Amino acid sequence: MEYVSVQGADIPALGFGTARMGGTETRNAVETALRLGYRHIDTAQMYGNEDAVGEAVENADVARDEVFVVTKILRRNLAYDDLQNSFEDSLDRLKMEYVDLLLIHEPSQSVPVTESVRAMNELQEAERVQHIGVSNFSLPQLQEAEAASDTPIVTNQVEYHPFTDQSQLLEYCVDNDVMLTAYSPLAVGRRLENETLIRVGKRYGKSPAQVVLRWLIQQENVSAIPKASKRQHQEENIEIFDFELTTAEMDAIFDL
């Protein structure tokens, strides 16, 4: 496993996403992922599966402090009291004393980010949260959150794959020691038959999906959280640490 190091945090570059997974499916998938070596698990209040993630981590033959657990606060829970109360509910569902990273799931139109960040900073002071971040924030919104926080915003989780342009955000993240976490890193499988991805994959004996994930984590300050309910796909996704793309190959994928 490779790691992204930002703001004093060492975060596994390849995580495991659980969006749109049901309870039993989530528990089984996370248990399998942990056995395969995943150590970065992403959930959210919105997903309705924090309890299943917590069960899987609890049942795993892995120490809690070896698993980097991320959850996110629903937009309707971003007011100060709502955020803190709903987070305690999240911890109860997860059966954990803390989470490694707490994110604002998406910006609110009604609650100032200063209010949400203040509540998150206090959770950090209480050692219920190790690190904080945001998700689905534009660059100006990220900068506003950073200005409001007493502690670093360690990540902005956004959709990122070869067919989306996040170059401006990524440049800022690299310059300011922020991690860009890529969700939907495989473009929900829509474009994996691309000729460039197939050609590069053949050189290394890898699938287009593996090429995309390698392309992502080979970029500075980028992590990726692909979702996969089947063991076969989980194994495929994690087998990306035995090859490295050339500069020309990286550029060719950037140009897609």
DSSP state of 241: S
The CA-CA-CA angle for residues 239, 132, 67, to 5°, reads 40
Indicate the Cα dihedral angle 185, 50, 124, 116, nearest 10°: 80
Cα 248 off chain centre by:
27
**Max Cα-Cα span within the chain:** 54
- β-pairing verdict for 9-12 and 129-135: unpaired
Told to judge if 47 belongs to the known catalytic residues of this protein, a careful annotator would answer yes
Catalytic residue among 3, 38, 47, 204: 47
DSSP state of 144: H
Residue 28's alpha-carbon distances to 1, 5, 74, 92, 236, in angstroms, are 22, 29, 24, 20, 17
- Residue 134, both tokens: 């945001």
The DSSP element (H or E) to which 124 belongs, if any, is helix 113-125
The answer to whether residues 54 and 94 touch, using CB atoms and an 8 Å cutoff, is yes
The end-to-end CA distance of the chain, in Å, is 27
The answer to whether residues 104 and 135 touch, using CB atoms and an 8 Å cutoff, is yes
Tokens 């089984």, residue located: 28
- Residue 34, both tokens: 């942990």
Which residues are annotated as catalytic?
47
